[in-house]
A and B are shown apart, each in its own frame.
Chain A
Amino acid sequence: MDMLSRVADSLYWMSRYLERAEHIARVLEVYLSEQLEEYTGDDNNRWRTVVESIGLQAPDDLVEEDVGHWMAFDLSNQSSIVACIMSARDNARQVREQISSEMWEHLNRLFHRVRAASTTEDWSADQHEFLTEVKEGAHLFQGITDSTMNHGEGWHFIQLGRFMERAVSVSELIKVHFREHIPADDEEHHEGGDLLKSCTAFEAYCKVYTADFKPLRISEFLLLNREFPHSICFAIDQVEVSLKALPQSADRRVGDRALRLVGKLKAMLSFSQIDEIMAIGLPVFLAEIDRQCNQIHIALHQIYIEYPVETAIQF
């Protein structure tokens, strides 16, 4: 049976929002533990950088003490963890009969837990536990999704949402990180450890490069590694796999567009060497990734969701 465009859209966004919640939880956790160790004590604006690295602008009246709460719970912040999980659940609810009941129940439970946590007055005591719960909740949801839902069209839209979000958010994280820490080729780069942790990449990186934190290698790993699930290259590979699995659009002119765009981005990631990237300039390269991801997102929307009626009516 054909899938309704609305259903595909909800699955895609459900997945994007949950991925975003998990990403923010990771970044926030790294920041909070860094605060405990206080080795960035001289940098008074560190927290602003953290906010920026998840693609947000801190409101003017936000102060350092509140940044954790704002990122985790503030509903006026549309990208707070709670707001993201709420949006994920709202989307899931719209398509409840399309996902497995295990998926729904798990997401619903996660939502009720984080909402309850958000109403406690003093969360600082339990913050680690809370962030762990969010991360684990998201991981579990992925596992449940993969093992209880048909790997059909709907599942591929979930994959698309997850990996599109991942590519964009990792790119943003790298961009802001290396803007603050101008990479010098050979120097030992301590802060790089935090960047890796923010992408659950610490251990995976060490297995490949040992605990030798060089900006070049870190960038190479997060951008170009084909096996690490949080690298941009991996994410785009997955986007391509899912896109190829979707039904062909009735309108061939636009139908191929998304695949063409993904192919282009994949080629750019596959055939680039890290020294070439550094030669062009990392920010330029990241901006290009960002631009292309955005084009892919728009193309997906135009082909499958909000296609203009007049082009689709052809008898």
Chain B
Amino acid sequence: MAFPAPFQNYALGDAYDEMFAAPAAPREQFQALYDRLQELPLAELRRRKHTADQAFLNQGITFTLSGRDEGMERIIPHDLLPRIITGAEWAVIETGLTQRIQALNEFLRDIYTDGHILNDKVVPRDIIFSCKHFRREMRGVQVPKDIYVTVVGTDLIRTPAGEFVVLEDNLRVPSGVSYMLTSRQVMKRAFPELFQTCDVRPIDHYGQALLATLREQAPDNRSDPTVVLLSPGVYNSAYFEHSYLARQMGVQLVEGRDLVVHDNIVHMRTTGGLRRVDVIYRRIDDDFIDPLSFRPDSILGVPGLFNAYRTGNVTLANAIGSGVADDKALYAYVPQIIRYYTGRDPILNQVETFLCSKPKQLQHVMENIGSLVVKAVGESGGYGMLIGPHSSKAEREDFLARIQAEPRNYIAQPTISISTAPCFIGGSGVEPRHVDLRPYILHGEKTTIVPGGLTRVALRKGSLVVNSSQGGGSKDTWVLN
């Protein structure tokens, strides 16, 4: 059976397609969208697309370019069509991520305090100690309510078999949640009728949930805690998100220079005098947070902040040193970590990973580099990555040399054809593009995941790289009741 317009160019490949099980046979959750798209004239789709783009621009949902066009702002490319997930699929994701994050939090507590998992040799010490984001200074520091990770963004992909698996955890300062929230606002206006028929679960309460999670981690005896969001400032590419989230929560957006520590108490400078700060949702990396304790050349940080933190007078979310748990080499051990702390198998599987620091696995990588994806452990955003099947001989040789020079710095994974979802392309029709999914997990005394997340899409045809720095865009994610 052939695809009707506007799907005339829809080609199904090896990848799992989110919308179609077979040509012109949409999965149940997409039926309403499928019908609607056939009713709407192309011109109307284009009009809605234009209105949506305009809404992003007007709301200032932009990222700042550096370099030649300094100060110019662009909108993140946004696709008009929602990605739809069933309630049953979501239930698995939700329980799986909850299990995973709770285990990773327990892992962080363990390695910074008792070290049982190291003594039991489940995770080798050298993997931890050689990790760039391991903070020796955190050893023995009492973290409020033992919560190390408050905000997590975990990247999921869907395999050709249709299974959601974990590709990467982001436990330091995951970004993108503002795109999830604003794109929902825009989509409600672009497809109001569809939105209602589909019974989409809401996500608008994210700001309140984040604030509640942050407040419950305040130091004891602070009955009405003051929460602030600490940003590196306007020149940071995620500044829009910082300011957006501060507004959503109704808290101050501060920079390091607004804060001052005296006698282990953190204050912010206001026109009415100094105000005590209890919880800091920080969007600054560990290295830069306190020039006294970490990088002395940091001009973004607050001298003495770590002392106030160690004393328990202020909460930092996420905790310092949480990045060790999203190291790409440590990732290979996460299934064992989950089993160690929960006594159960992981609910969500993950991608097989080869550590170049282990001689046997390195051997495998060297021999099969043409079919693997190689990643530098310290990089993110799609940088420092080689996609074997799409690479040239020179690129592969370059990577082999780099791997041999610094094996600890590289891991490899099989190339997975990640799932595709329908996108409105070039104003002329609907075509499949590769997507991933980043749900945002709030972890406190309980774990909250707003249903959905950021679906990132590789807008270039055939591309598997969804990062916005590499030509990726985003689309709204609907979880159905």
Q: Which residues in A have some Cβ–Cβ distance to B below 8 Å?
A: 1-6, 8, 93-94, 96-97, 101, 153, 246-251, 304-305, 307, 309, 312-313
> 5 tightest CB-CB pairs across the interface, nearest first?
A250-B273, A2-B270, A97-B243, A5-B269, A304-B271
B451 to A: closest C-beta gap in Å: 28
Known: A2-B272, A3-B271, A5-B271. 11 other contacts (CB 8 A): A1-B250, A1-B252, A2-B275, A3-B272, A4-B270, A5-B269, A5-B270, A93-B234, A96-B234, A307-B269, A312-B267
Cross-interface CB contact of B274 among A6, A93, A305, A313, cutoff 8 Å = A313
Q: How far is the CA of A175 from the CA of B271 in the complex (A)?
A: 34
Number of residues from B at the complex interface, CB < 8 A = 26
Q: Return 9 A-B CB contacts under 8 Å, by A number.
A: A4-B270, A4-B271, A94-B234, A96-B243, A101-B58, A251-B273, A304-B271, A309-B274, A312-B269
Q: Please give me the residue from chain B that is nearest to A97 by CB atom.
A: B243
Q: Known: A93-B234, A96-B234, A309-B262. Contact between A2 and B271, CB under 8 A?
A: yes
Q: How far is the CA of A253 from the CA of B64 in the complex (A)?
A: 44
Say yes or no: is B377 at the interface (Cβ < 8 Å to chain A): no
Residues of B close to A5: CB separation below 8 A: 258, 269-271
Q: Are B267 and A250 in contact (CB under 8 A)?
A: no
Q: Are B234 and A312 in contact (CB under 8 A)?
A: no
Interface residues of B in 149-202 (CB under 8 A from A): none
Q: Please give me the residue from chain B that is nearest to A247 by CB atom.
A: B272
Residues of B close to A307: CB separation below 8 A: 269, 273
Q: Are A312 and B271 in contact (CB under 8 A)?
A: no
Q: State the total of A-B contacts with C-beta under 8 angstroms.
A: 64
Say yes or no: is B260 at the interface (Cβ < 8 Å to chain A): yes
Q: Known: A1-B252, A309-B262. Contact between A97 and B246, CB under 8 A?
A: yes
A253 to B: closest C-beta gap in Å: 13
Q: How far is the CA of A50 from the CA of B174 in the complex (A)?
A: 55
Say yes or no: is B84 at the interface (Cβ < 8 Å to chain A): no
Residues of A close to B269: CB separation below 8 A: 4-6, 307, 312
Say yes or no: is B253 at the interface (Cβ < 8 Å to chain A): yes
Interface centre among A8, A93, A246, A312 (most CB of B within 10 A): A312
Interface centre among A3, A4, A246, A312 (most CB of B within 10 A): A4
Say yes or no: is B255 at the interface (Cβ < 8 Å to chain A): yes
One digit per residue, 1 when the CB lies within 8 angstroms of any chain A CB and 0 when it does not, for chain B 249-270 equals: 0101111011010110001111
Say yes or no: is B60 at the interface (Cβ < 8 Å to chain A): yes
Residues of B close to A247: CB separation below 8 A: 271-272
Q: How far is the CA of A311 from the CA of B56 in the complex (A)?
A: 45
Q: Are B271 and A8 in contact (CB under 8 A)?
A: yes
One digit per residue, 1 when the CB lies within 8 angstroms of any chain A CB and 0 when it does not, for chain B 222-264 equals: 0000000000011000000001001100101111011010110
Q: Are B243 and A312 in contact (CB under 8 A)?
A: no
Residues of B close to A96: CB separation below 8 A: 234, 243
Q: Are A3 and B270 in contact (CB under 8 A)?
A: yes
Interface residues of B in 264-289 (CB under 8 A from A): 267-275
Q: Are A249 and B270 in contact (CB under 8 A)?
A: no
Residues of A close to B58: CB separation below 8 A: 101
Q: How far is the CA of A112 from the CA of B262 in the complex (A)?
A: 43
Cross-interface CB contact of A249 among B246, B250, B253, B273, cutoff 8 Å = B273
Q: Are A309 and B260 in contact (CB under 8 A)?
A: yes
Interface centre among A8, A93, A153 (most CB of B within 10 A): A93
Q: Are B274 and A312 in contact (CB under 8 A)?
A: yes
Residues of B close to A309: CB separation below 8 A: 260, 262, 267, 274
Q: Please give me the residue from chain A that is nearest to B72 by CB atom.
A: A112
Residues of A close to B60: CB separation below 8 A: 101
Q: How far is the CA of A247 from the CA of B255 in the complex (A)?
A: 22
A178 to B: closest C-beta gap in Å: 38
Q: How far is the CA of A96 from the CA of B260 in the complex (A)?
A: 23
Q: How far is the CA of A250 from the CA of B271 in the complex (A)?
A: 9
B178 to A: closest C-beta gap in Å: 12
Q: Please give me the residue from chain B that is nearest to A304 by CB atom.
A: B271
Residues of B close to A94: CB separation below 8 A: 233-234
Residues of B close to A250: CB separation below 8 A: 272-274
B193 to A: closest C-beta gap in Å: 30
Q: How far is the CA of A4 from the CA of B226 in the complex (A)?
A: 14
B196 to A: closest C-beta gap in Å: 30
Residues of B close to A6: CB separation below 8 A: 255, 257-258, 269
Residues of B close to A153: CB separation below 8 A: 271
Q: Please give me the residue from chain B that is nearest to A108 by CB atom.
A: B71
